[in-house]
Amino acid sequence: MDATVPFTYTATLVKITDGDTCQLTLTKTWELDFGFDFKTKHTDSLTVKLRFYGFNCPEVHDHDPALAARGKAAQAALADLLSRGTLRVESVKLGKETKDRYGRYLARVFVKPVLEDEFEIGPRMIELGHALPYFGEGVKPV
Write the CATH number for 56. Answer: 2.40.50.90
Residue 132: per-residue pLDDT: 95
In a domain, 118, yes or no: yes
Domain limits for position 96: 8-134
Supply the pTM of this predicted model. 0.87
Please check whether residue 59 lies inside any domain of the structure: yes
> Residue 3 falls within a domain, yes or no?
no
To the nearest whole number, what is the mean pLDDT of the chain? 91
Q: Is residue 102 part of a domain?
A: yes
In a domain, 67, yes or no: yes
Task: Give the pLDDT band of residue 4 (cuts 50, 70, 90).
Answer: low
| SS3 letters across the chain | CCCCCCCEEEEEEEEEEECCEEEEEEEEEEEEEEECCEEEEEEEEEEEEEEECEEECCCCCCCCHHHHHHHHHHHHHHHHHHCCCEEEEEECCECCECECCCCCEEEEEEEECCCCCCEEHHHHHHHCCCCEEECCCCCCCC
Q: Give domain status of residue 16, yes or no.
A: yes
Mean pLDDT of all residues in 87-115: 87
Count how many domains the chain has.
Answer: 1
Do the domain assignments include residue 142? no
